[in-house]
Amino acid sequence: MRILFLHGWQSTPGGLKPTHLKSHGHEVLNPALPDDDFDAAVRIAQDEYDRHRPDVVVGSSRGGAVAMNIDSGDTPLVLLCPAWKQWGTATKVKASTTLLHSRTDEVVPFEDSENLRNNSGLPESALIVVGTEHRLADPESLEAMRKAVEGAGRRKEHLVATVYYLEMLSPSQRSAPPPRDGLTVLCVQSPTVPYYRFLYNAVGDDYYWLSRRKLSDAELAAAIQDPRNELYVLHVKGSPAGFAELDRRKPDEIEVVQFGLMPEFIGQGLGKWFLQWTIDKAWSHQPKRVWLHTCTLDHPAALPLYTKAGFTQFKQGMFRREL
């Protein structure tokens, strides 16, 4: 899940709360917000939201007021002791908002969240009482925050997509000349989790790639650092431009688990060349079968690209994907 976390006054990025969310496998955007300029903090938060389109926005104390004053569409809010009476002009929140507050908060009165809930017409269940002080940094409060964030993310809409399963049973005789100079493909041995998440999100963000995002850091590390899982990164004049991932764990077959380009490198002929490079690499292991899947949420050129490369469809299905 992608989370925009807006910290409080006199706080800094990387605190206990965003770290707790990150440790559970979530991607956390945690921009630095200036203490002395609320309007600038709102502009920074709005820019982060517009560029990354998070699944949930979390605001802590003054960060809660910042969250209330940005245009976040239908994205759920989770507000921790929001200091909305001290900063900003917003006095109500959307229906998809969850509030967490301590009754013994010594900085922002608990009654402020009660008033906010009443102003907004939220049910009593939308206000979660937890913790013994303003920071909500104790283990119980951190877990309550995590559960509220994950629950908010699960309440989002879904859409139905068609998935196509494609296979190749013998090596392709096709060749694809490089479309330009400066192309290199590097094998990343034992990739780090942050680096892999960077690649995964940069390539798959526009196409609702979620399966790897849902894994915790430990689960993801176990998958990508398995020696039978191969990660290849395409570089254009030294800059990463896309990646391919091959799963060799099953005997006699290889799955192209991930394949794609970063947005700024699409439309330059790189996909055809890099796909053929990936196919040739897969067949170099001499499997009996190479296969992959794509769906209607992927780039519209993906399915034609795969079929032109020699893959044939062997199965089709439907699935639901969170928006």
pLDDT (tens digit, 9 = 90+) per residue, 46-71? 999 999 989 999 999 999 999 999 99
Taking all residues of the chain, what is their mean pLDDT, rounded to a whole number? 93
Lowest average pLDDT, out of 160-174, 227-241, 251-265, goes to 160-174
The CATH number of 2-154, from 3.40.50.1820, 2.30.30.90, 3.40.1110.10, 3.30.365.10, is: 3.40.50.1820
Q: What is the pLDDT of residue 216?
A: 82
pTM of the predicted model as reported, rounded to 2 decimal places: 0.55
Q: What is the pLDDT of residue 79?
A: 98
Q: What mean pLDDT do residues 251-260 have?
A: 97
Residue 187: pLDDT over 90: yes
pLDDT digits (tens, 9 = 90+) for 3-27: 999 999 999 899 999 999 999 999 9
Q: What is the pLDDT of residue 205?
A: 85
Q: What is the pLDDT of residue 259?
A: 98
d(CA 75, CA 56): 6
Nearest in space to 163 (alpha carbons), one of 288, 316, 52: 316
Q: What is the pLDDT of residue 159?
A: 61
The CATH number of 159-322, from 3.40.50.2300, 3.40.50.1370, 3.50.50.60, 3.40.630.30, is: 3.40.630.30
- Number of residues that make up the chain: 323
Residue 152: pLDDT over 90: no
- Residue ranges per structural domain of the chain: 2-154, 159-322
d(CA 187, CA 201): 19
Nearest in space to 145 (alpha carbons), one of 218, 220, 78: 78
